[in-house]
Amino acid sequence: MHLGRTTLSKFLIQQLDGIENARELGALLVYVAAAVKAISAMTAKGALSGMHGKVETQNVHGEVQAKLDVIANDVLLRSSEWGGLVAGMASEEVDEPYPIPPQYPRGRFLLIFDPLDGSSNADVNVSVGTIFSILRHDRPEAPLLQDYLQQGREQVAAGYAIYGPSTMLVLTVGKGTHGFTLDREIGNFILTHPQMTIPADTGEFAINTSNARFWEAPVHRYVTECQAGRTGERGRDFNMRWIASMVAEVHRILIRGGVFMYPKDTKDPGKPGRLRLMYEASPIAMLIEQAGGRASTGRQRLLEVKPTELHQRVPVILGSANEVARIERYHVEHDAGHDGPFVSPLFNERSLFRPEARG
């Protein structure tokens, strides 16, 4: 039935040509794909799996863990630790990096992941995902924390799996962003979305507007303009989406364009954003850029943010290139004092950006 179609293994053999340590990297991506298939089978069982609901423990961020978070984390660790491909791993669910057990050889890569992003959505049968990032580790010694703290642009591969009506694996090794659909009958990922490309313009944005009172002025400005639609600055209508599962939002953007924002806010002054740099923002930013989109903190290219901590948070604004560039410009103008009169408590009431107020 799939004769002539490209399986993940065939794709990797072709795609990794010319990349250093191609065979090892390809094998590691196959390990990750195997873990993804196991997690997909678990999530697809829904309540029948007996894995819904919470466990007693909290993760490093103080968040109550879902049973599926814990199991998905274990699946990824066990799938990848034994084959001599990784030198160490790190996960959203574990405080410290995970050292390779002494009985196994160490490899040349670091694997960092969020095993089940958006896991609270699993209980309500909405798409969840796994996000992963692969970095090089060229020293024979076991990696130290410092070895993990590489900029996103150093990634050799990045990807996510989305567990939705179908399970898809979307990945990049720096040669475009490509999507594979899991054929459950034959157990193979089949290339169905080669060279995914994000349109530069869009009429769709995604942001959790319940946080509006905590946003900075440039984000207010952008969202207010979108909401004003054809009667406002933009002269056209926009639509809004919020799934509360970053993987699902990003997948929509890769398919049909859009902007996703979890920007800097003042909700918790100790946190510069909600999303985690190393296993959420960086891998997704690589996929977005490889698909022709743009990924930013609002003030800096996401792939250039230098991590200082494994679990550090970062503001995220990504998607269709022209829209993200516009939001970055709003940040520049704000920082230069150009939008000074715009103050957020007047949001959507007497904003300077409403057409009648512009004079």
Residues that bind ligand AFP (CB under 6 A): 63, 114, 117-120, 208, 244-246, 262, 274-275
- Which CB, 245 or 320, lies closer to ligand AFP? 245
Spell out the long-range contacts of 100-106 with Cβ–Cβ below 8 A and sequence spacing 24 or more. Answer: 100/142, 106/140, 106/142
Amino acid (1-letter code) at residue 262: Y
Amino acid (1-letter code) at residue 167: T
- Which CB, 88 or 118, lies closer to ligand AFP? 118
Smallest distance from ligand AFP to CB 103, Å:
32
Smallest distance from ligand AFP to CB 265, Å:
10
- Which CB, 120 or 197, lies closer to ligand AFP? 120
Instruction: Give just the sign of the alpha carbon dihedral 5, 8, 9, 14.
Output: positive
Smallest distance from ligand AFP to CB 71, Å:
14
- Which residue has the CB atom at the shortest distance from ligand AFP? 246
- Which CB, 133 or 351, lies closer to ligand AFP? 133
Residue 161 burial (10 A CB sphere; 0-12, 13-18, 19+): buried
Structure tokens at 1: 């039935």
| CB-based burial, 203-217: b 16+ in 10 Å, e otherwise | bbbbbeeebbeebbb
- Which CB, 118 or 257, lies closer to ligand AFP? 118
Smallest distance from ligand AFP to CB 1, Å:
34
Residue labelled with tokens 């503001």: 315
The secondary element (H helix, E strand) that includes residue 9 is helix 8-15
- Which CB, 11 or 262, lies closer to ligand AFP? 262
Amino acid (1-letter code) at residue 279: Y
- Which CB, 221 or 274, lies closer to ligand AFP? 274
Smallest distance from ligand AFP to CB 124, Å:
12
CA distances from 161 to 19, 113, 124, 189 (A): 23, 11, 19, 11
Please provide the DSSP assignment of 261-283 as one string.
EE--BSSSTT-S-SEEIIIIIHH
Say how far apart CA 59 and CA 93 lie, in whole Å. Answer: 5
Smallest distance from ligand AFP to CB 194, Å:
26
- Which CB, 119 or 227, lies closer to ligand AFP? 119
Say how far apart CA 177 and CA 254 lie, in whole Å. Answer: 9
Smallest distance from ligand AFP to CB 55, Å:
14
